[in-house]
Structure 1
Amino acid sequence: MVAGMRLSIWPGAAQPYCDILDVAAHAAGTGWDGVWIADHFMANTPVEVRPDLPVLEAGSLVAALGAAVPRVRVGTLVYGNTYRHPAVVANMAATVDHITGGRFVLGVGAGWQVNEHVQYGIDLPPVTRLLDRFVEALQVLHGLLRTPVTTFHGEHYRLTDATCDPKPVQQPLPILIGAKGEKRMLKVVAEYADEWNAWGLPELIAHKSRVLDGHCATVGRDPAAVRRTAQALVVVDGPVPTDLPAPVYGGSPSAIAATVEAYRELGLDELIIPDGLLGKGAEKLKALDTIRAIVKD
């Protein structure tokens, strides 16, 4: 067993709910540790192109999976801050934590996907303003989820004697931040996150993790207080694509094992497996069993 490293599945939301539920239930029943859901409303295509993949909404999915699937942690990877007021997100998160009996992880990010903002008329400000707004949202989330009453007067959000009750089952409910920017975003992680997530193969994650350690030192926080999570696409049996925008590893069980060992060596707390290259139906469930055997046995 790879000591100390959780193993979680990330079923894509651009598939029927019954398929997502099958994957999540199979993972829960075979020793996996978590299920993650991305927050998007459509495929990431140019704004002039209509997406050809229907996508289910993240908040509804984590609530449904939390009620239907036992034992495993359930989380968002990650809620885009531009899509919902953070007070709404806080209430949603507390509710899902009650539905799951204290198994929810609130994953949040600044927001980025252009076509969603254009089609829905949602403001996507320049990067500096986007991140300023995200930092304010994190302060709102911390206040509402972890203190009895929150008053906050920022540039982007204003709350006066605001409550979020009932509070989550978990105290504190873990907040995960998805971030890769080394200068500012990883400093935000050091300041506000219980967990950090990024796409990347072991070498990149090790580098980003060292940068995060440096920011923790700057803000006076123990680096061990921020748990590290990461993902890349996985091929269980077959050629590894070289033309995808996302990182990929595997191709054989031995190649997967070598990469998993590299993640373990850098001290990763949780390895997340997107299901995008694992096939469909029974083939996908068999791939999950192969990965679990590699990581856990």
Structure 2
Amino acid sequence: MRFSVWPNLMQPAVDVLAVARHADDTGWDGVWVADHFMGDGGGFGAPEDPTLEATAVVAALATATRRVRIGPLVLGATYRHPAVVAKWAATVDHLSATASAAPGGAGRLVLGLGAGWQRNEHEQYGIDLPPVRARVDRFREYCAAVTSLLSQPTSDLDGEWFQLTGALSEPKAAAGPDRSAIPVLIGGKGDRMLRIAARYADEWNMWGLPELIAERSAALDRACEAIDRDPAAITRSTQALLLPTDDEAAARRFLEAVAPRAAVAGPIGRIVDVVAAWRDVGVTEVIVPDSPLGRGAERIDRLDALAEAFAPFRT
């Protein structure tokens, strides 16, 4: 299994980079960041809290780290044109290769894509947020455009939302001995989103504890089989809010405060049991948001404790 860190972008840039560099130095496998312009006023923070912009942060991570995979979890398709995303992704991938510790200077970007969902940022900035069905239809076309631009010499698409005409997009990925293209992660959980993941994703992601992940992962398997794609070609990742603490009262308060988001709180052994259950249902990457872990030395101590507990699961 892989284990990655998710720094909250509602904190100063110096803290985001400190978490990323610590992860890079201490054996974590990846660093992910969310793509939102503000909090949602609910479980994802207050709208007025300063929020760093994701693509700029990922570009900074490309040169601030040497080993970890980096990526957005996930870019919102409603406010990022696919041609711009493809050019950005290739550029950041090459930047990451220049700082890479891997032989051959391979790129380290994973391109996370999602359909978009957060209403308040769309309303405030005058960005259209179509109804769910239209949004998913648009996202299918979006993924076709991005993946073609990332892989084909030229791309043509005469779609309802996007048009490409002999479109060039160079360079492609910063390839290495074990990597020929920028992998695409798709985040989503509904059946129609899983059908898009089955066609276009190298990795699939959603929030969830093991029982839910098992059910949705089985649905993804069926979507792959329906188009004759091997389900094993898509790796599975997930995240939950993790709070290691020996204070059971504090653990209960935390779970009540963040409900209904996926979360685990309590002694490290309890978190390890959930990781084992994720492994048993096919999860190959667990992503750890840093927001419950405190700040400064407390956060570093908790990250180190989690890394030590996760070591037996590493591949």
When the two structures are superposed, what TM-score results if normalisation uses the length of structure 1?
0.95
Q: Report the equivalent of 1:125.
A: 130
**Alpha-carbon RMSD:** 1.3
Question: 1:99-138 counterparts in 2 under 5 A?
Answer: 99-101=95-97, 102-138=107-143
Q: CA offset at residue 205 of structure 1?
A: 0.7
Query: Which SS does the other structure have where 1:172 is aligned?
Result: coil
The 5-angstrom pairing of residues 39-188 of structure 1 reads 39-45=35-41, 51-101=47-97, 102-170=107-175, 171-181=180-190, 183-188=191-196
Provide the rounded CA distance (Å) in 2 between the counterparts of 1:191 and 1:264.
Answer: 24
Native 8 Å contact 2:204 2:237 kept in 1: yes
What is the match of residue 198 of structure 1?
206
Letter in 2 for 1:271: V
Secondary structure at the aligned position of 2:292 is classed as coil
Deviation at 1:167, TM superposition (A): 1.1
Aligned-pair distance for 1:250?
Answer: 2.9
Distance of aligned partners of 1:151 and 1:263 in 2 relative to their CA distance in 1, 3 Å threshold: same
Supply the AA of the counterpart residue of 1:243.
Answer: A
Segments ≥4 residues shifted beyond 3 Å: none
Match of 2:103 in 1: none
Q: Which runs of 5 or more structure 1 residues have no equivalent in the other structure?
A: none
2:110 partner SS: strand
Find the aligned partners of 1:295 and 1:50 in 2 and give their Cα distance: 32
Q: Which residue of 2 aligns with 1:242?
A: 256
Would you say the 8 A contact 2:155–2:167 is kept in 1?
Answer: yes
The corresponding residue for 1:11 is 7
Q: Deviations over 1:192-222 (max 9, x none)?
A: 1010000001111111111111111111110
Q: Deviations over 1:88-107 (max 9, x none)?
A: 00000001100111100000
Matched residue, 2:100: none
Letter in 2 for 1:178: G
The CA distance in 2 between the partners of 1:7 and 1:250, in whole Å, is: 18
Q: Which residue of 240, 244, 263 corresponds with 1:232?
A: 240
Name the % identity.
51
CA distance in 1, matches of 2:164, 2:194: 26
Write the distance in 2 (CA, Å) between the matches of 1:50 and 1:178.
23
Structure with greater helix share of residues: 2
- Give CA-to-partner distance per residue, 1:151-193, whole Å, 9 cap, x none: 1110000111111111111422100000111x21111111110
- In 2, Cα distance between the equivalents of 1:139 and 1:257? 38
Code of the residue aligned with 1:193 in structure 2: it is A
Contact preservation (8 Å) 1:250, 1:259: no
Q: Which amino acid aligns with 2:127?
A: I
2:215 is matched with which residue? 207
